[in-house]
Amino acid sequence: MSEGGEWRNNLHHYIDGRWIEAGAGGTLEIVDPAEESGCGTLALGGEADVDDAVRAARAAFETFGCSTLAARKQLLERIIECYSARRAELADAVRREMGAPAWLAAGLQVDLGLAHLRSAREVLDRYAFEHDAGRSRIVSEPIGVCALITPWNWPLNQIACKVAPALATGCTMVLKPSELAPFSATLFAEILDEAQTPAGVFNLVHGDGATVGSALSRHPDVDMVSFTGSTRAGVQVALNAAPTIKRVSQELGGKSANLILRSADLEAAVVDGVRTIMLNSGQSCNAPSRMLVPRERLAQASDYARRAAQAIAAGPGAPGTQITIGPVASRAQFEKIQGLIRRGMEEGATLVAGGPGRPDGVERGFYVRPTVFADVHNDMTIAREEIFGPVLVMIGYDSEEDAIAIANDTPYGLAAYVQGEPGEARRVAARLRAGQVVLNGASLDTDAPFGGYKQSGNGREWGEHAFAEYLETKAIVGA
Q: Where in the sequence numbering do the catalytic residues fall?
A: 251, 285
The 10 Å Cβ neighbour count of residue 46 is: 17
In this structure, what are the phi and psi dihedrals at residue 81, rounded to the nearest 5 degrees?
A: -65, -45
Check if the beta carbon of residue 390 is closer than 8 Å to that of residue 277.
yes
**Residue 220 CA from chain centroid, whole number:** 26
3-state class (DSSP) for residue 137: strand
What are the E-state strand segments in 177-271? 202-204, 224-228, 247-251, 257-260
Nearest to 206, CA basis, from 230, 222, 184? 184
Non-local CB neighbours of 468 within 8 Å, separated by 6+ positions: 140, 460
The 10 Å Cβ neighbour count of residue 428 is: 21
Given the DSSP bridges, would you call strands 391-397 and 202-204 parallel, antiparallel or unpaired?
Answer: unpaired
Non-local CB neighbours of 45 within 8 Å, separated by 6+ positions: 13, 22, 24, 25, 205, 206, 207, 211, 212
Non-local CB neighbours of 328 within 8 Å, separated by 6+ positions: 33, 99, 281, 282, 283, 334, 337, 366, 367, 368, 388, 389, 390
Type of residue found at 43:
A
Check if the beta carbon of residue 339 is closer than 8 Å to that of residue 281.
no
Residue 256 class from Cβ within 10 Å (0-12 exposed, 13-18 middle, 19+ buried)? buried
Q: The dihedral of CA 80, 84, 90, 94: what is its sign?
A: positive
